[in-house]
Chains A and B, each alone.
Chain A
Amino acid sequence: MSIARMAWHVAGVAAAIGGALALREGSVHPWAIPRKSGDAQVRLSWSARPERVEQCRRLSDAELAELPPHMRLRLQCEGVFARYLLTVRVDSSGIASDTIRGGGLRHDRPIRLFREIGVPSGQRRVKVEVARLDSTSAAGDTTEDHDTPGDTLLGFRAGREADERQRRAREAMPARLVLDTLISLAPGHVLLVAYDETARRLTGRMARSVP
């Protein structure tokens, strides 16, 4: 083998070593994750049912008689699912404001929220507020149908509707939710704001819960 040829082969081995090292470097080379606004984060993540805003009307006996028997219900209600205004303030300056509503075409599905909001690290007062925009105070008779005897078919249906309405109201997000907290956010740390369905309030957390 000539010297020149040998030199090429040595260069080949060097190239292979260089290639292997480059491969490793390309496999683990660090990347600084860009922090768009602020070096800490407020993360809003929850799922909750929106409140149903209804207008109800009591039907007269004559109106009731016009309906097919299986559709007879004394209290006829129409309505929509409420929208809410979400605001996030850090140290009394608003950093996010948005209208949120239930999912689905009729917005009757739960509000599924996931937002990540960059905030500067340090001692911060974070206030997250969710306020219902649509009101139930619209005119109309929203009282329950108590006067139909419970042992009739009409009464049974009225009772079932009332139960359903109560269940929905229990599960729905309250008209106003507020989390107002003073925290110390280290760079890169996250304040997770979630909704506690049982306590029906917003909660803030900065570390994993111990399983």
Chain B
Amino acid sequence: MRAIERLARNSLRAADAAATRFYGWRYNPLHQTGTIAVALLIVLIVTGLYLLVFYRVSEPWESVQRLAADPWLGRWIRSLHRFASDAMVVAVVVHVLRMFAQERSWGPRALAWVSGVVLFLFVFVSGWTGFVMVWDTFGARLAIVGARLFDALPILSEPVQRVFSGERPIPSAFFFVNLFLHIAIPLSVGAGLWIHVSRLARPTLLPPKPLGVAVISGLLVLSVVFPAPLPPEADPFVIPEGVPVDWFFAFWLPWVEALPISIAWAGAVATLALAAAVPLFTRRAREGAHAPSVVDPRLCTGCNQCPQDCPWHAITMVPRDDDRPTLVALVDPALCVSCGICAGSCAPMGVGPPGRTGRDQLQQVRGFDFAIPAIRRRAPVVAITCAQLPATHVHALEEAGAPIHMVSCSGNLHTSAVEQFLRDGAAGVIVFSCAPRDCRGREGPKWLLQRMYHDREAELQPRVDRRRVRLATAAPGNLAGTLAEFRTFADSVEALGIQDLQPDSEDLVCEPQPVVASKRRAWR
């Protein structure tokens, strides 16, 4: 499984790099597949409502034909409905691959994964009912193959296929049921979406406006220029030589036609079970880099910042066991994804995954080796990078003369570590984080920006010269941009001359307060 993950990660990185070159990291659609899928769902609902007004269960194909023949609205709204659903499947597939490649499928994220698999199935079923509703040759083929699959199950004694045999006209009730499902399932997708993001503190549901507008208008232009054709009406007495298939929804059609029904069923069930079971195969031991965050109650002042910053709702404030009048933070390990963002949010450095708390970071900074041959004679500009930064960027920064310090996520970085670098002789500190919408910790760059420049709790102290600190984005595919950021910053820092922060002029570390009844609270 690890090898597959690695392969997926490398492929994703290459695709990400290309998309960043094409559209820049702000509007890289590959970072936004989940939100693009939601935007497309909205398009589907809006266009679907319009189509609903004109659809007739008593004359399904004829009513769609009238829509398709309407050159003003009907034709392109129908096409937009169709292409948006196809684009949604593509977006969801990329989203799934992305989550898998980025190891975001297990542990506390398993609920999102499994609910995502169910949602994807809902999207398919909703799509199939939509095609069947039209009752063109493709819709009929889907219905016939679906009925064949259904008839293989010992549920109904009457073969469903007889409905399409031509003995009598297909009852309107059949199209009504399809219509009902086609409306009801997207509604349940909405409810499922709520479960899908329920673990997140602040889910992002929509893409940045320019990207959303670009995707939707692109599909709109496609619908106007090349509208989706309407295949002929299905005739039970004619087996068409070929049908125009929507491969995004019916990629399985040739297999089901070719394979024995039992094998087709076994394949479908196995695929679904395997997809839902991915979190079992991808999970890691909750130790080392994956260990959940812990709170040191002696340091926690009860400021209530980490519960606000935690993107996964993993921290709550609970009464203390000692006689201090504040609450104390408590991490639920079952919800913690070990992103380390809480470590950056705690001014007294009392919380974080083991080895990544603010204190651990200060320790590492104090032992940091600034010695880089190329810049031995001048104060270096330190580059702090997120661990997800591609190795090519790291090497290029090193070659450009930057000593590198790595953190698991830019949101994990404690601002005191930045200050410590400056005290220890760095001329400047530049922090490279992932593109905000690509952050595996979800909100790392956002919170770091606020802590550095907008006085969010655990802020960078006012005594630190902001001209010597910079926050930048490094994205695969934008090496030139990463280097340019570094060089510009290094030049501007050089122009400032020697900085005047004295080493250890003020202690950056709080002293732990004793816990009287020091009984560690366990999460229940």
Contact = CB atoms under 8 A, between A and B. Distances in A.
Task: Tell me whether A and B are bound partners.
Answer: yes
Interface of A: 8-9, 11-12, 15-16, 20-21, 23-24, 26-35, 41, 43, 45-47, 103-104, 109, 112-114, 187-190, 192, 194, 205-209, 211
B257 A34 contact: yes
A98 B235 CA distance: 28
9 contacts: A23-B87, A29-B245, A33-B241, A47-B162, A109-B157, A112-B162, A189-B238, A192-B166, A208-B237
Given A27-B82, A27-B247, A114-B159, A190 B237 contact: yes
B167 interface: yes
Contacts of A27: 82-83, 86, 228, 246-248
A192 B86 contact: no
A208 B82 contact: no
Given A20-B219, A41-B239, A45-B162, 4 more contacts: A9-B23, A21-B222, A24-B228, A208-B237
Please provide the 5 A-B residue pairs with the shortest distance between their CB atoms, ordered closest to farther: A12-B22, A45-B165, A114-B159, A103-B157, A28-B244
Given A9-B22, A12-B23, A32 B241 contact: yes
A173 B237 CA distance: 25
Contact of A30 (B86, B167, B218, B242): B242
A38 B82 CA distance: 34
Interface residues of B, number: 47
B199 interface: no
B247 A29 contact: yes
Given A24-B226, A28-B244, A12 B21 contact: yes
Given A33-B239, A45-B167, A190-B236, A26 B162 contact: no
A30 B165 contact: no
B258 interface: yes
Given A47-B162, A114-B159, A26 B242 contact: no
Interface string B9-24: 0000000001001110
Contacts of B240: 33, 188
A43 B247 CA distance: 28
Contact of B229 (A21, A28, A41, A47): A28
B516 to A, nearest CB: 62
Contacts of A209: 168
B153 interface: no
A189 B166 CA distance: 12
Interface residues of A, dominant DSSP: mixed
A23 B83 contact: yes
Contact of A192 (B23, B228, B237): B237
Contacts of B90: 23
B320 interface: no
A112 B22 contact: no
Nearest to A44: B165
B260 interface: no
Contacts of B497: none
B157 A31 contact: no
Contacts of A12: 21-23
Nearest to B82: A27
B239 A190 contact: yes
A20 B220 CA distance: 10
B365 interface: no
Nearest to B229: A28
Interface string B243-260: 111111000011001100
Interface in B197-250: 214, 218-219, 221-222, 226, 228-229, 235-248
A28 B166 contact: no
B398 interface: no
Contacts of A24: 83, 222, 226, 228
B82 A43 contact: no
Interface in B252-279: 253-254, 257-258
A27 B227 CA distance: 11
B369 interface: no
Nearest to B158: A112
B161 A30 contact: no
B62 interface: no
B359 interface: no
Q: Most B CB atoms within 10 A — which of A16, A109, A114, A208?
A: A114
A26 B236 contact: no
A86 B218 CA distance: 57
A109 B156 CA distance: 12
A33 B242 contact: yes
B82 to A, nearest CB: 6
Contacts of A21: 222, 226
B242 A32 contact: yes
Nearest to B86: A27
A46 B169 CA distance: 14
A114 B151 contact: yes
B109 interface: no
